[in-house]
A and B are shown apart, each in its own frame.
Chain A
Amino acid sequence: MAQITLKPTKVPELYLEGYNITPDAFAGKSLMEIADLDAHEGKIKVKLGDYFEIAGQSGDTAEETAINIDGDCSRIKYIGNKMSAGSITINGNADMYVGGWMKGGKIHVMGNVDSFCGIAMEGGEIVVEGNAQNHVGCAYRGDWRGMRGGTIRIKGSAGNDIGTFMLGGTIIIEKDAFIHVSTHAEGGTVVIKGNVQGRVGGQMVKGDIYVLGSVQYMLPGFKKVGSVEQKIDGTEATFTHYIGDLGERHPKSKGKEVYANLYVQEA
């Protein structure tokens, strides 16, 4: 796999929209051509070369291109946006929209990410070593088709709106989450390994949620139906099984209503 290294040389005064920092945009291009790719700081159109020292070599296809960002991207948005293959490693923090609308490939962030990480994701893998802000794997505003596939793993904690309108794929938050998990979801799996404050599965139609810690405020629309032994993401435990959201519409399959499942680990 061909390696391209970007070394940040300048901190943007506002925020840099690095929508071209993807294996797809870099593939088959010379270093000069990559440095000449567009980005935006506010209304000013800039070049990637103005902000990064670019070294290495890109592959012929996105699949053969690995991007390594050697430094902090706290003020850079849209890294790995719409990427379809290849990989990006960020040795630091990243701002909003990491892996937004992503279709394939892998993104590895060593630090924290801001909001909208993996928004409307369709495939691929995102691993964040630190924390994420809000809207991990959520839908774009007004779109009822949220995350459809792929995996997002946040090793730290996350804020609100995790997997809103989710249709498929997996989101794993290894520490705590705030509120609104899988709101309006019609599929997919969310695993919270820590505690959640509340609003887990509100207006949820289908899909699964696992909480390995506690849910401080359970929604009234979830009903306890039993206890199950399950293995989830390497943890084998006994979970209390709830179905819901009973306040929401639910489709029928073979004459029986299909509900969303919430599994909360028993203490």
Chain B
Amino acid sequence: MPKWITQVGCPYCGASCDDLEVLVSDDGKRVLETRNACAIGNEIFHHAQSPSRPKRPRMRQPDGSMKEVSYDEAIDYTAKTLLAAKKPLIYGFGSTNCEGMSAVARVAEKGGAVLDNCASICHGPSFLAIFDNGYPSCTLGEVKNRADVVVFWGCNPMHAHPRHTSRYSIFPRGTFTAKGQMTRTIISVDPRETDTAKLADHHLMVKQGHDYDLFDAFRTVIRGHDIPDEVAGIPKKTIVDAAKVMKNARFVMIFFGMGCTHTDGRNHNVDIAISLTRDLNAYTKASIMAMRGHYNIAGPGQVWSWQFGFPYCIDLSKGTHAHMNPGETSSIDLAMRGEVDCFVNVGTDAGAHFPIRAVEQLKKHPFITVDPNICMASEISDLHIPVRVVGVEEPGVVYRMDNVPIQFKKVVDGPEGVPSDEELFDRVYERMCELTETEPIWLLAKDHAKAATNAEQ
């Protein structure tokens, strides 16, 4: 009998839904059906079963073709390449678990690499704003139960986070929001009429690239000052009315996305949004949250902040301390300036996401991709190492967009002989230690921790 597995986590967007149900075959090897998942989440579970999925590493040959090699060869090549490079860049981690991120961090430390994650081209500016101005945030549960005014600024969850609005932000009925959508006033600030904007009670069609001006206008109005007749393409009356809606709310929730972090000003757009949230708290309760993109992209921020003190753009090349300064140590800047001489792309597709000039620069040096699937990065790589799919074939801890950790399950077994990210990078670390004739201290520490946990149980 096929079996339904419940409370399964979804390895797609930052909403990290943990209420999926997956029907697996008798032998526990195939996913037959899913319930509760959005179209994209459903596809991830089925895609993992694809017969065309690579199951062995592939190495680029002198004639340009790709040839299957063993995992040992791939691990040896990765270890040697990282050790030989003057300044390797290890980037990615949108789609893997915290265990994998932790293992990669040890490899980066050993290789004197720069360690960066997808936040670099996503919510990295939000980190900078949070460093500068704090983060008055909450959990998605509080949004569901309390928020009666929800602002979506430069984000479109109807497409990017398909179940966000039904689970947390617009439709659900919560403790103090018993009538669901009826209780909530939705404000969308977006230069386009997105599907989220169509759902909103108020849509402020801000002039592209002028979010900062509009935030400043809101703050000025809330402090009781006058503003010009039009700001960022929005009439004064609309701004004053929307400010009134926010001031009179019981709980204002501001969600922001790439519209803030990747238009001119970047971190400053988020910074002033945080200032606005603080201002609103003089009148009511207000909170703010980044619409993180991937199901565990909040993970590297948590894991590496604990390991190194910084969430992203971590330059470990000195060996004695970590240095972080986006603009210098961020992946795109490093690539564009020709500041790195080895690139390892893990659990993401830099080939598709980076500007072409950055990819061209990176391609001048060894280029390695670690990803379960064929993607643009894997196809231009010198080495592609497939791994198990987290959330489908590999369990692990992930952090949801509100930084709540969730234990994800595995539902089926991975392809035979294919390691997880954690296993792969532990082996790379071990090989690097062999090559440099050093003690694999982090593996010993891990064994020690495991033994201690088992003894307790």
Contacts and interface: CB of A to CB of B under 8 A. Distances in A.
Given A15-B337, A42-B85, A43-B317, A247 B212 contact: no
Given A96-B328, A115-B328, A203-B275, A141 B131 contact: yes
- Contact count band on B: 35 or more
Interface in B207-224: 210, 212-213, 216-220, 222-223
B327 A135 contact: yes
Contacts of B265: 160, 179-180, 199
A115 B328 CA distance: 8
B252 interface: no
Interface in B319-356: 319, 324-328, 337-341
B288 interface: no
Interface stretch (A60-68, A85-93, A216-224, A231-239): A216-224
Given A14-B338, A220-B228, A140 B325 contact: yes
Contacts of B338: 14
Contact of B132 (A15, A144, A180, A220): A144
A202 interface: yes
Contacts of B272: 202-203
A202 B319 contact: no
A42 B219 contact: no
B268 A248 contact: no
Interface string B66-102: 0000000000000000000111000000000000000
A221 B215 CA distance: 10
Interface string A123-164: 000000000001100001110100000000000000010000
A221 B264 contact: no
B132 A184 contact: yes
Interface string B214-245: 00111110110111100100000000000000
Given A43-B318, A43-B319, A141-B128, A202 B212 contact: yes
A221 B216 contact: yes
Contacts of B382: none
B190 interface: no
A146 B128 CA distance: 15
Given A116-B325, A179-B265, A220-B216, A13 B317 contact: no
Given A42-B86, A115-B328, A179 B264 contact: yes
Contacts of B220: 220-221, 245-247
B327 A183 contact: no
Given A160-B265, A203-B271, A203-B272, A142 B319 contact: no
Interface in A175-211: 179-180, 183-184, 198-199, 202-203
B133 to A, nearest CB: 8
Contacts of B318: 40, 43
Interface residues of A, number: 38
Given A43-B87, A43-B319, A134 B327 contact: yes
A200 B150 CA distance: 29
B105 to A, nearest CB: 16
Nearest 8 CB-CB pairings of A with B: A247-B219, A43-B112, A142-B131, A42-B87, A42-B86, A247-B220, A220-B217, A43-B317
Interface of B: 85-87, 111-112, 128, 131-132, 210, 212-213, 216-220, 222-223, 225-228, 231, 264-265, 268, 271-272, 275, 279, 317-319, 324-328, 337-341
Interface of A: 13-15, 40-44, 77, 96, 115-116, 134-135, 140-142, 144, 160, 165, 179-180, 183-184, 198-199, 202-203, 217-221, 223, 245-248
28 contacts: A13-B86, A14-B86, A14-B338, A40-B318, A42-B340, A43-B319, A77-B328, A116-B327, A135-B327, A144-B132, A165-B132, A180-B265, A183-B268, A183-B271, A184-B132, A202-B268, A217-B213, A220-B213, A223-B225, A223-B226, A245-B216, A245-B220, A246-B220, A246-B225, A247-B217, A247-B219, A247-B223, A248-B219
